[in-house]
Amino acid sequence: HVQLVESGGGSVQAGGSLRLSCAASGDGYSSSAMGWFRQAPGKERQGVASIYRGGSSTYYADSVTGRFAISLDSAKNTMYLQMNSLKPEDTAMYYCAADSVVLPGRELEASEYSYWGQGTQVTVS
């Protein structure tokens, strides 16, 4: 059983920055891939960024490339999402996710992830 807890959301003006954190815990935790997803009201959940343990491979949605950066502190079992140059269209509930197996090429597909956090709200005005 894996538990994921997000934090760091909030309200910010356009152009501002936020850093989200996702702390992972639980017995037998061995997720090889973790990711950030977001969902705005009335829209489907969208993959934002993902990372493999070891941090050698990262993946980003086109809409956030160059503005967001994903990282992983393996010693703390914590994943981060640094969000810069935020836009109103970034407003959404942000979720972290993890799984032990994610098919290559599907790192930003929500269906690939079994474990999810409860979400943290990001509002950009």
Q: What count of Cα atoms within 13 Å lies in the side-chain half-sphere of residue 1?
A: 1
Q: CA 122 → CA 42, 79, 88, distances in Å? A: 16, 17, 10
**Tokens 């032990």 sit on residue:** 100
Between 19-33, 44-58, 95-109, 111-125, the lowest mean confidence (pLDDT) is in 19-33
**To the nearest whole number, what is the mean pLDDT of the chain?**
93
pLDDT in tens, 78-115: 999 999 999 999 999 999 999 988 999 999 999 999 99
